[in-house]
Amino acid sequence: MTKAKPTQSTDAPKRQRLTRERIEVEALALIDEEGIDAFSTRNLGKRLGCEAMSIYHYFPSKAHILDALVDRVLGGMPIPDKSLSPAQRLRAFAHSWRAFARPHPRFYQWITLHRGNSATATRFLDEILDCFYDAGLPPEQATRGFLILGYYMTGALLDETSGYARGPSSLAPLPAEVVERDYPRVALIERVATVEHFDEIFERGFAALLREFGLE
C-alpha cells in the first residue's frame, strides 16, 4: 500500500546528518577507545565526519555532552522489580552498575567524580534509597546504609576499572621483577585481583555490609 521509496543511496551513507543521539554515542565510543583526554570537540568532529563547530549546533558546550551521557547511562539503568527483597534489589543494582562500568572504565571514572544531581540521576538515587527504606530502616539508618554501601560499591568499581592494577602507571614504576623479589605480598595482589575473582571478592564485602544493616 505504501509507495516504495524511489531514491535510496545505493552504497554506504557518506555523511549522515548529525543528531544528539549520534553525537552522544560517538562521544562515548571515543572516550572508551582513546580516553577522556582524547575527547575533544575536534576529535569528535573527525569521528562524526564534520567540523568541531557543527557539534555546537546540538550541544551548547562539551560539558553538556558529558552531562547528557550521564543521563543516558543512568536513565538506561534497569530498575529491579519491587517484588524482590531489598537485598536482592540492591544486588541487582550493583550488578547492573558493575556491568556498565566494566566496558566503560574511563567514563565510569568521570561519572564517579561528578555529582549525580540531574533529574534523571536524582530519580535513580531515590530508587536505590528505596531499598533501604523498604527494608524497614528508619530514615537516618537508611541513609547511612545507602552511603556505606555506596562507598564500597564506588571504591570496588574504581579499583576494578582503574585502581592499583589498571590505572595510569607511575612514570617510574618499580620493575615487576623487583616487586616479585622485594615485595612478594604486593606482587600477590595482581594475582588475586583478577577478573575471575572480582565477583567473589566484591560479594564478600557487600554481603558483610548488607548484614551490618540487617538486610539478609
Partner DNA sequence: ACCTGAACACCGTTCAAGT
Which residue ranges make up the site for a copy of itself (CB under 8 A)? 63-64, 67, 70, 109, 112-119, 121-123, 125-126, 129-130, 133, 139-140, 142-144, 146-148, 150-156, 158-159, 162-174, 179, 183, 185-186, 188-189, 192-193, 201-202, 204-205, 208-209, 211-212
CB under 5 to 8 A by kind: which of a copy of itself, DNA, none does 192 bind? Answer: a copy of itself
8 A C-beta contact, residue 124 and residue 116:
yes
Q: How far is the CB of 124 from DNA (least distance, A)?
A: 26
- Dihedrals phi, psi of 166, to nearest 5 degrees: -130, -20
* Grid coordinates of 177: 621483577
CB under 5 to 8 A by kind: which of a copy of itself, DNA, none does 51 bind? Answer: DNA
Q: How far is the CB of 201 from DNA (least distance, A)?
A: 36
Nearer to a copy of itself, 11 or 37 (CB): 37
**Helix axes of 105-112 and 139-162: crossing angle, nearest 10 degrees:** 140
Give the length of the chain. 216
The span from the CA of 18 to the CA of 53, in Å, is: 12
CB under 5 to 8 A by kind: which of a copy of itself, DNA, none does 62 bind? Answer: DNA
The span from the CA of 207 to the CA of 44, in Å, is: 42
Nearer to a copy of itself, 28 or 70 (CB): 70
CB under 5 to 8 A by kind: which of a copy of itself, DNA, none does 165 bind? Answer: a copy of itself
x/- contact string, 25-64, with DNA (CB under 7 A)? -------------xxxxxx------xxxxx-xxx-xxxx-
The span from the CA of 155 to the CA of 12, in Å, is: 44
**If you compute the radius of gyration of the chain from its CA atoms, what whole number of angstroms results?**
22
In the block, cell 618499580 appears at 174
Q: How far is the CB of 200 from DNA (least distance, A)?
A: 40
65 burial type by CB count under 10 A (0-12 exposed, 13-18 middle, 19+ buried): buried
Cα angle 23, 25, 26; round to 5: 65
CB under 5 to 8 A by kind: which of a copy of itself, DNA, none does 14 bind? Answer: none
Footprint on this chain of DNA (rule: CB under 7 A): 17-18, 38-43, 50-54, 56-58, 60-63
